[in-house]
Each structure stands twice: as C-alpha cells, then as structure tokens.
Structure 1
Amino acid sequence: MNTIDRVAIHIGSIQIYWYGIIIGMGVFIGLWLAMRESKHRGLDKDLFVDLLIYAVPISIISARIYYVIFEWSYYKDHLGDIYKIWNGGIAIHGALIGAVITTIFFARSRNISFWKIADIAAPSLILAQGIGRWGNFINQEAYGDVVSRQFLENLMLPDFIIDQMFINGAYHHPTFLYESLWNFLGFGLLLLLRRVNLRQGEIFLTYVIWYSIGRYFIEGMRTDSLMLFGEFRMAQVLSLSLIIGGIILLVVRRKMGYSEKKYLDI
C-alpha cells in the first residue's frame, strides 16, 4: 500500500511539509484573486497584502488555539506538541474567527467598510479552504467512517486517493474530498452572484451559509470531530449557529435598510 510522504522536500536537516505547501498555495491563490477584484472595486490592490500580513499569523494562532482547547485532554500532558502545527491540528472555524476579528479592526483603521472587504474576500476564502483540505488528505486526517475499498472504487476515485484513505488498517470516507468539492462549488456560486449585483455584505453572508451547510452534514461523517461537553460535535453546533445567524442577518439587513448599497456599485 503506497501512501504519500508528508515531507515534500528534504534540505539537509530541514524538512518542508506538503501540508504547509498546500496551505500556502491556497493563501497565495486567494490573495491573487482578492487583489484582482479589489482593483475592479476601486480599492488599492495592495490592500489585501497589508491585511494578510496581520490576518495570516493571527488566523493560524487562533486556529491552533481553537483546536488545542477542544483537545486539551491530550495537550495538557504534551505541552511541547502545541506548536507543532505541521503535524496538522488547526481548526478552520478558529482560523475564520481570527480572520474576521482581524478584518474588522483592519477595516476600521483604513476607514473602509468591513462588508466591502468581506464581499471581495469571500470567493478567495472558500477557494483557499477547498485547496487547504488537500493538506488534510496528505496528513491522513479529517477522514470519515470506515468503508470498503469497493465503495471508494465505485466513486471512481484514483488509486492515490484510495490508497491514502487506508488508515489504521481500514478504508475511510474521504470527507476531505467531499468538503473540498463543496467549497469549489461554492466558489463558482459566489463568482456567479457577483454578477447578480447583490447588496453589500450578501456575498460574504452567502459564503458563510453555504460553507456551514456543507460542513454541518460532512462533519457528521467524520471520526475526529472536536467535541463540546463530550456529546456534541463543535463544528456542527457552530455551523448550525452560523446558518441561522447568516439567514437572520440577510433578512434583517434588507428589512432595516442596512444594505442599500450594491456590490458592483461600491
């Protein structure tokens, strides 16, 4: 059974992991798209470079903190492992929380609407998330329940994916792939919605709702979920909250007239 080595490049004693390469690829592709769109929307094309200088490290730290909090039963006895993010163990919800908080303060400092920045960034975010899930694939994490090899073959998956899903003596649902494909579909949807000229903030809220719907159902298949009170899957609790909150915000902002500006007009 051939599995993919987590280390992509060896330079002497230095090891460069696929996980970091893939995450970095997602970030830079997302940045390029955001810079391209910001120019069309009348913003400085370097705005998102400045934002990422703050958002990337804060998001990585918040993603790791989020993960460690819900896996404290392990990390309390392995404090030296807390910083080893190259082995996996960063939670996307934690990263998004850090990114949103950073963007709110950044937008205020530049006297720019948070919603304007968020709308431009939304397609980049979901595309980067779709790419980033392949880092989980390399690390053999974020996988689902046990399935047969025949099940995976019936999905017409290439052998390199099927082989990588052989973990701890059994084949598993490639939930990383399900979420990656869901995110890529969401990316296409958001690009289409840009042309519809929705009101300010609605592209970002659509991203939040779309991603959360997919995550809610896919999370139910996973075997490595972070648990709340030992009974509830934290990602499902948060996803359901974001779906409800996103819909409420969409309705309230329209009813109260908070979103009169259109995306293509700003």
Structure 2
Amino acid sequence: MMNEMLSYLPKGFSIFGLEIAFYAIIILFGALMALFLSSFEARKEGYSWDFFVTVFIIAFPSGIIGARLWYVIAEWQKEFGWDNFAQIFRIWDGGLAIQGGAILGITAGVLVVVFLRRGMNPLQAVDFAVPNILVAQVIGRWGNFFNHEVYGMVVDRSSWSFLPDFILNQMVDNLNNPEFIDVPLFLVEGILNLIGFLTIVHFIFPLCKKHNAYCVGDGLGYYLILYGAVRSILEPMRNPTYIMGTEVGASFVMAILFIVCGIVLIVTNHVITNFRTKNYRKKGSLK
C-alpha cells in the first residue's frame, strides 16, 4: 500500500547531502511548543522562565526513546526481528508510539524535578507541563502526515470532500482507484487532542478549583483519561495494516490502561491530599 500512495508532498529535504525529515522537524517543533507553554504557566506562578529547560533536555529524548521502544516491542515480529536489528535505529522512517513516549518522557521529567531541578513541587510541575503534551501531539501528528502514517479505514473520497486536496491526495489508497482514500486519523486525533487540551486547561482546572475539587497533581490523571479516551475511540477505526501488535491492538489495550490509571491516580491523589489536610488540621487544633 505504501508504494501505491499518491504522494506529491516530499518527506523532507536535503542540505549538503544530509537528509532532513519533516517528521523530525515537526515533532521537535511540537515539543518546543509544549516547553514554551509549560514555562509560561510556571512563570505566571513566579518561577523562572528556564525552569523546564533542564527537564526538557532530559525528558524529550527520553520520550523519543520510549516511543521507539514501545513501537519496536509491539512490532518486533512483523517489522524487526534479529535479522533486521539495525532497522530499530531508523526512527526517521517513522515508527514512534506516542503512548510509550508519554510514559518514559513523563517519568524522566518527574525524576529530573525530584532529583536535579529542585525548587518546585513535582506535582505542581506535572500540572504545568503534562497537559501541554497534548499540544505537542497535535503538532506532531502532522509529522505522520508527511511520513504517510496513522490511517483509518478506506472510504469514499467524497465523504471527506470538505478537506483541501493536498490532504486528500495524500490519503489516496490506490492509484487505480483515486476516488477512495484512507480516513486521515492523524488529523482527527490532532483535533481531538486539541479539544482535550482546551478542556483540561480552560474547563476542568478552573471548574475544579472553583468548587474546591482540585488537588495539585491532577493534571497527569486528566491527561491519561482524555488521551486514553481519544485513542480508545480511534484505534478501532484504524486501517488493519497499521494496527500495532495483536489483532486487538497494543495501542487500544494501552489506551484502556491509560484511562484506568488516570482515574486511579486522581482518586489516590485526592484521598492522600484529604488525609494530609485533615491530619494537619487535627495537629493544629491540639496546639
């Protein structure tokens, strides 16, 4: 299918013989945008602009490694194997699983705040930074567009005629049948991620704070729930050619786990916070 795609948009460009992939540039731009938004939120609360720079320097490459590892593990038998081991390192050809990137990237970022970049409550840092990962994912999905990845089922082109031709032409499934295209799931997911980001930052956080239902650190839980929901909806719509792992799909299973973990994290965070608050008040009343 990949060879049959109508592709008039290049995957990148060359400078002095060095191939530069749009995929890499777009992912980096998305990550830098998340860094800017995180720094902006931290600055509003009195922290320095450069607080998250150290976090970014470690968390971003960790996220790339996590994304690649998750993809390689899920696709080991179909795409890699010991006979094709060198292919593991060719990330510019595509093959990054966002869920794996989120897990390792967030973990690395939290560890940096705890052990190296002290001066901020790690849970506060999570709330400043984690929701912005959705913005990075919105932008990063356009890297999939240039790399010809993240497609849905084959449908009639007319059902998506509201999209510009430069997108539709990239989605053509077979040159012999240009009236049929793959659903641009990269675009659908990007839009849903943007809605998720706006929902967390401009609706959930303000509403919870207004009704005293917010605990520092909830941002991670809300991210996992919303992104898990997005992926659990979209994975069954994915073209079977691009489903990772088993027939059910490793990404779908992970999406459900994201939702469950998100709920558990929020509930646990509230239970612990309420316990500490009551304990603090009890000690204060004894003085």
**Contact preservation (8 Å) 1:253, 1:259:** no
**Contact preservation (8 Å) 1:126, 1:183:** yes
- Residue 147 of structure 1 deviates from its aligned partner by 0.8
Match of 2:229 in 1: 213
Match of 1:135 in 2: 143
Distance change >3 Å, CA 256–CA 137, structure 1 → 2: same
Distance change >3 Å, CA 29–CA 259, structure 1 → 2: farther
Match of 1:6 in 2: 11
Q: Alpha-carbon deviations, 1:168-202, whole Å to 9, x = none? A: 44510111111000011112112213433332122
Residue 62 of structure 2 is aligned to residue 58 of structure 1: yes
Which ranges in structure 1 are unaligned for 5 or more consecutive residues?
262-266
Residue 103 of structure 2 is aligned to residue 97 of structure 1: yes
> Greater helix percent: which structure?
2
Match of 1:157 in 2: 163
Q: Alpha-carbon deviations, 1:146-176, whole Å to 9, x = none? A: 11111221xx111111111113445101111
Amino acid at match of 2:164: P
**Contact preservation (8 Å) 1:140, 1:167:** no
Which ranges in structure 2 are unaligned for 5 or more consecutive residues?
1-5, 278-287
What number of residue pairs does the alignment pair up? Answer: 256
Q: Provide the rounded CA distance (Å) in 1 between the counterparts of 2:122 and 2:274.
A: 13
Task: Return the match for 1:45 from 49, 68, 73.
Answer: 49
TM-score relative to the length of structure 2: 0.83
Greater C-alpha radius of gyration? 2
Q: Provide the rounded CA distance (Å) in 2 between the counterparts of 1:97 and 1:104.
A: 11
- Residue 256 of structure 1 deviates from its aligned partner by 3.9
Amino acid at match of 2:109: T
Task: Return the match for 1:181 from 183, 187, 191.
Answer: 191
Amino acid at match of 1:186: G
Q: Provide the rounded CA distance (Å) in 1 between the counterparts of 2:187 and 2:234.
A: 10
Match of 2:72 in 1: 68
- Residue 258 of structure 1 deviates from its aligned partner by 5.2
TM-score relative to the length of structure 1: 0.89
Match of 1:264 in 2: none
